[in-house]
Amino acid sequence: MTYLYLANFGLYLIVGLGLLRVWRRHPGQAFARDMGWSTLFATLLPVGYLLHTEAPALLARLGLPLVVAGAVPNLLFLSSGVARLAGRRLPRVAAAAIVLAALLAVGASASGNTFLYWSLFNMTMLTGVGLLATRWMWRNPSLDRLVGPLLILLGLSQLLLTVFGSHGMAASLLVGTLLRSAIGAVFGLSALDGAVRDAGKLAARFQMLTEHSVQGVAVTDGARILYANPALRQIYGMPLGLGAYTVFADLPPESFSDETLQHHHRLLQSGQQDIASWEGRREVAGGRELELRFEAWRVEWDGVAATQILITDDTERNASARELLHQATHDKLTGLPNRTVLMQRLKEYCFLADGSLQCTLVVLNIDRFKLFNQSQGHVTGDHLLKAFAAKLKDVLGARAELIRLGGDEFAIVDPDAVNARDIAGRLQSVCVQALKVPGGEYFIDASMGMAVFPDHAGNAEALLRAANAAMYQAKRTPGTALAMAEQRFEQMSSLSLENEQALRKGIKQQEIYLDYQPKIDAVSGRLLGFEALARWQRPGIGLVSPVEFIVIAERTGLIQELGAVLLERACRQIAAWRAELGDCVPVAVNVSPLQLLNRGFPQLVERILADSGVPARCLTLEITESAAVDNLDDTQAQLQRLSELGIEVAMDDFGTGFSSLGMLRQLPLRTLKIDRGLIEPLPAPDAVAVVTAICQLASALNLQVVAEGIETEAQAKAARDAGCQELQGFFYARPLTVADAGDWMRRLLAGEASGGLRDAEPVAG
């Protein structure tokens, strides 16, 4: 009997380990794992029964715990394996039921009839699982359908213990061993069958991926092509992989680099590389040259170590990349390199130069090309640019490079120029030649700026700035001209840019403010109004003259923003004085010609007046004579809209431009301000005559006259006698702060309240 127990134990152990090994080789067959563990736990059953029946009393007590320890996991793993084989999952309720039934069996066996209760427990569980397996898998065409009946028979074999007790143990063990072996065999065969099916799926998947792949796939043993997909055959234009294996030695050497392939094959097979990558140009069938990219790794092919190669045709992609790079670095019209290439070349030359080498840069700009486009059309202009570029290339040296910076601007870089003047002479020779284009012949002028590294600059950016500054200097000379870079050109450009940036920042941070200069009645000395004058207190620099920063604002377009800010600030100050004093004299604000050209300017003024609550009579706008002369029609329309708002307009700096009597009649003006250049010579007789004539003209047109720049008593008396109604200048007051201007207004209003007028006291210098 003991041998029977041991034989049962050994057979269960072999079957269990065999199933686990099958699972390790084919992890997808999880039911083999569950059945393997079930069989291994079943090995505890014969050991437990052996101790319970054959061992001495002390060891016999371990029998039942071993039976329980083997039976419960055995049934749980068995049930799970059957469910997985049927494509299902073991419900937790079923697992809990098995554990509960085991506890009941343990409790019942305490009465002493161990064989009876455990045989009933095993029979019930095994038969139940067998019935479920039969229901789930009976229609399966494979051996899986036998699992259910075998489990039922295994469960019914427990009747031998139930009926005969310990006397039926031998028969039960024998039948159980045979049935358990049969069940293990079915599970093992099912696992192998499933592994074969999975392998077939993988093979089909591999074939589907490779046969329909746009990338070439090859498998090689180093000397032969064992497999080639259709894409590879299409890339090379050869019947590779069809029929017998293709030997590399039989293929054209220009198509396959046998040496390179062998090298990577050896590295991969020796384990020195996991993945190999390389690129190369290959000439394939039809004489086409392709740019191919290769990636390779180790595989097993028909039981032999091999290398799989993925081959990608990058010919079109690389060509597209080169085309995109060319478009990004070259001008579309002329095909010349662009500014990006220029900076790259300059950095290369300046980096490589050791001080003994020179690099010459010329920046060339076609003069009045905008006018040419307007008169001849952009199509002809494009033809002219291409013809000019072709002429320039013809006269340049072998290493000199012509670059188009954009529009009508070119650059020439010459790293070999020992005599920079030689380059200038060649370039100037082009400009004296007629350029033949469809529709005629044309001559052009060009302005050129030349800078030499390291004489004029120490790096690429500074060299370009120096050449640009020299080019703008050359534009001051009529006709084709060239200017050599000088230190002061770059300094001027750098300072100009610095001032522009500082002004932008100053406007945002409210560094610009207003002072107010009084306008005085020429006869009574009474305060008639103020002129708001912009001041810039620049941090770290101090007070900047309006002559400087207004020019910057007009050149950069900042004048629109600056003018709106100053107008709004003046109106807020007028509103503050009116709120404090009950009234306010008119305040004049200067308007730039660029502001006046903005068609939305009257609406801006109207909005600011409305927002600040200032009546139109309290605001005067001063325009320059040059603005009126240069844009008479637009100025007339703008002033008419301002006049309709009730705003008085004064013409500032009268006498410096070329205004006519007809123009003065057409403009809705209220005041003429005589320029200080005509007031300064007073009381000289000829100056008095000029001022008198202006006053008589203004009187005929019903215009008030203001003399600005009054600095002496003699000038004040002469201007008054000549007919000027208002006087303004340092003789009366320098531009005042807001507080000082308020004091003047308080004295004026206090004098009016007391019924009298107080003359303004002149302030010398």
pLDDT digits (tens, 9 = 90+) for 451-480: 888 777 778 888 888 898 888 888 888 888
Does residue 550 carry a pLDDT above 50? Answer: yes
Q: Supply the CATH number for residue 704's domain.
A: 3.20.20.450
**Rg of the chain in Å (alpha carbons):** 52
Distance CA 38, CA 46 (A): 14
Residues 700 and 591 in one domain: yes
Instruction: Let me know if residue 759 belongs to a domain.
Output: no
User: Comparing 74 with 63, which gets the higher pLDDT?
Assistant: 74
Average pLDDT value over all residues in the chain? 82
Distance CA 376, CA 439 (A): 10
Numbers of helices and strands, H then E, in the chain: 30, 22
- Read off the pLDDT of each residue in 197-203 and give the average, rounded to a whole number: 66
Residues 253 and 399 in one domain: no
Q: How many CB atoms lie within 10 A of CB 611?
A: 12
User: Comparing 159 with 14, which gets the higher pLDDT?
Assistant: 14
**List of residues 6+ apart from 661 with CB closer than 8 A:** 697
Instruction: Let me know if residue 208 belongs to a domain.
Output: no
Instruction: From 318, 353, 368, give the residue that closes a domain.
Output: 318
Range of the domain at 131: 2-196
Structure confidence at residue 230 (pLDDT): 85
Residues 254 and 184 in one domain: no
Structure confidence at residue 759 (pLDDT): 47
Nearest residue to 722 (alpha-carbon basis) of 672, 759, 756, 757: 672
Residues 433 and 410 in one domain: yes
Residues 100 and 247 in one domain: no
Instruction: Let me know if residue 325 belongs to a domain.
Output: no
Residues 641 and 527 in one domain: yes
Q: Which helix (H) or strand (E) holds 482?
A: strand 481-484
Q: Which residues pair with 223 in a beta bridge?
A: none
Residues 378 and 507 in one domain: no
Distance CA 214, CA 230 (A): 9
Nearest residue to 624 (alpha-carbon basis) of 660, 601, 598, 590: 590
Residues 539 and 470 in one domain: no
Backbone φ and ψ for 410, nearest 5 degrees, come out as -125, 165
Instruction: Let me know if residue 204 belongs to a domain.
Output: no
Q: Which residues pair with 189 in a beta bridge?
A: none
Residues 122 and 218 in one domain: no
Distance CA 365, CA 448 (A): 6
Structure confidence at residue 764 (pLDDT): 39
Instruction: From 196, 224, 248, give the residue that closes a domain.
Output: 196
Instruction: From 294, 318, 342, give the residue that closes a domain.
Output: 318
pLDDT tens, position by position, 602-659: 999 999 999 999 999 999 999 887 666 667 777 888 889 999 999 999 988 887 655 5
Q: Supply the CATH number for residue 375's domain.
A: 3.30.70.270
Instruction: Let me know if residue 763 belongs to a domain.
Output: no
pLDDT tens, position by position, 147-185: 778 878 877 777 776 666 666 666 777 777 777 778 777
Residues 240 and 178 in one domain: no
Residues 341 and 440 in one domain: yes
Q: How many CB atoms lie within 10 A of CB 762?
A: 17
Alpha-helical (H) ranges within 619-700 are 625-630, 632-644, 661-666, 676-679, 685-700
DSSP 337: B
Instruction: Let me know if residue 513 belongs to a domain.
Output: yes
pLDDT tens, position by position, 95-130: 787 778 777 776 666 666 655 667 777 778 888 887
Work out how many domains the chain is built from and give that number.
4
Q: Please, are residues 226 and 305 in contact by the beta-carbon 8 Å criterion?
A: no
Instruction: Let me know if residue 764 belongs to a domain.
Output: no
Residues 567 and 656 in one domain: yes
Instruction: Let me know if residue 709 belongs to a domain.
Output: yes
Q: Which of 350-359, 492-501, 739-748 has the highest mean pLDDT?
A: 739-748
- Read off the pLDDT of each residue in 131-146 and give the average, rounded to a whole number: 78
Structure confidence at residue 410 (pLDDT): 93
CA-to-CA dists, residue 522 to 532, 705, 719, angstroms: 20, 10, 8
**List of residues 6+ apart from 448 with CB closer than 8 A:** 362, 363, 364, 365, 424, 427, 428, 470, 471, 474, 480, 481, 482, 483
Q: Which residues pair with 446 in a beta bridge?
A: 366
* First-last CA distance in the chain: 137
